Structure 1
Amino acid sequence: MKKLTYSTIINKPRDFVFDKLTDKSIYPQWAKAWGDGMTYEGKWKKGGYMSYFDHSQGGTKVIFEDLKPNEYIRARHIAMVNPDNVEVELTDDMMKKWIGSLEEYYFKEEGSDITKFEIVMTVDEAFREMFDNAWPKALDYFKEVCESN
Structure 2
Amino acid sequence: MKKLAYDIVINKPQDFVFNKITDKSVYPDWAKAWGDGMTYEGEWKKGGFLSYFDNSQGGTKVVFEEFKPNAYIRAKHIAMVDQDNNEVELTDKTMEKWIGSLEEYFFKKENDQITKLEIVMTVDKVFQEMFDTTWPRALQYFREVCES
TM-score (norm 2): 0.99
Identity between Structure 1 and Structure 2 (%): 74
State the alpha-carbon separation in 2 of the partners of residues 110 and 93 from structure 1.
41
- Please state if 1:80 is matched with 2:93: no
Gaps of 5+ in 1: none
SS in 2 for 1:32: helix
Structure 1 partner of 2:41: 41
- Counterpart CA distance in 1 for 2:33 and 2:69 is 24
Name the CA distance, whole Å, in 2 between partners of 1:57 and 1:124: 21
Aligned AA (1:137): R
Give the Cα separation in 1 of the matches to 2:17 and 2:92: 36
Q: TM-score, normalised by structure 1?
A: 0.99
What is the RMSD of the two structures over their aligned residues, measured on CA atoms? 0.3
Q: What do the CA deviations read for 1:8-27 (whole angstroms, capped 9, x no partner)?
A: 00000010001100100000
Displacement, 1:111? 1.3
Residue 98 of structure 2 corresponds to which residue in structure 1?
98
Deviation at 1:112, TM superposition (A): 2.2
What are the equivalent positions in structure 2 for 1:1-149 lying under 5 Å apart? 1-148=1-148
For 1:65 and 1:28, locate their aligned partners in 2 and report how far apart those are by CA, in whole Å. 24
Structure 2: unaligned runs, 5 residues or longer: none
SS at match of 2:33: coil
Between the aligned partners of 1:54 and 1:99, the Cα distance in structure 2 is 18
Q: How many aligned residue pairs are there?
A: 148
